[in-house]
Amino acid sequence: MKNVCVITGGGSGMGLATARILGKTHFIIICGRTVSKLTHAIEELQKEGIDCEAFPCDVSDIGSVKKLAEHAASRGRVQALIHAAGLSPHMGDAARIMAVNALGTIYINTEFARIMESKSCILDVSSMSAYLTPSIVMPRRLYRLALTDTDLFFQKMMRRIRLFPKSVRSGVAYGISKDFVIWYSKQSALLYGSKDIRVVCVSPGNFETPMGSLEREEADKFTKYAAIKRFGKPEEIAFLFAAVVDERNGYLTGVDILCDGGLVASGVSAMSRS
């Protein structure tokens, strides 16, 4: 029986590109809120001889995530989880972005750690926005609440976000939520290391994906600062994802890997718009 790889947000972009690589060695479960929207992706993968299925999951709903984890475990040994589902500033309001990106990561990591075994890997996807957003914006001293009281954590995050004008709240929520993902991924690595479960975070820069196209006009303003002056290709980061979860990378955990074409290395910030 093949190992199982679960990919949230696997219907397009980075997730679908990764499914094509890992589908050679794993049974693939791609997830989204509506299975019908994943039908085309499943058809594409099956034409390439990849054994796969779609499963409905709203990562911001703990009950939905529990069902996904239980189903995945019933299909075999879950060796890899790639949590690529998330919302960008143009895809929802501040509360929805925080719920999907931050709470979703808490729920996914917690529930899959319950069913994953030795030599498995959880890969959380953040964003280079966590590096570009000024640190003063980040309520990092409150992140630890996520380990004990998720409701209070969410309330505190939203209280901080509401200090900003409505016009920028979605962007602020995105930056904070992705900064939190990096922090929480590292905490998860410490929590689950005793089970021999690795947890690694990857922060992509600007990529040619459906989500990336929604932010294209704003994101392209930063391209000139990068070492590689173009958007990344989905297959480029998919190769990184596949390498991270590979069992041969057994000593890699508790770290964030920035894959942004060298943009953050330039020293640019979110305030650099000229």
For the chain, give the longest Cα–Cα distance: 54
Write down the pTM of the prediction.
0.94
What is the reported pLDDT for 274?
A: 46
Rounded Cα–Cα distance for residues 215 and 24 (Å): 32
122: β partners? 81, 199
Q: Which of 56-65, 119-128, 263-272 has the lowest mean pLDDT?
A: 263-272
Rounded Cα–Cα distance for residues 226 and 232 (Å): 11
Q: How far is residue 203 CA from its own chain's centroid?
A: 8
What is the reported pLDDT for 29?
A: 98
Asked if residues 131 and 90 have their Cβ atoms less than 8 Å apart, the reply is: no
What is the reported pLDDT for 97?
A: 98
Q: Which domains does the chain have, with CATH numbers?
A: 3-259 (3.40.50.720)
Rounded Cα–Cα distance for residues 89 and 131 (Å): 16
| pLDDT of 272 above 60 | no
Nearest by Cα to 184 from 99, 104, 81, 76: 104
What is the reported pLDDT for 271?
A: 60
Give residue-wise pLDDT tens across range 38-94. Answer: 999 999 999 999 999 999 999 999 999 999 999 999 999 999 999 999 999 989 999
Q: What is the number of other CB atoms lying within 10 angstroms of the CB of residue 135?
A: 10
| pLDDT of 101 above 80 | yes
What is the reported pLDDT for 36?
A: 79
54: β partners? 30
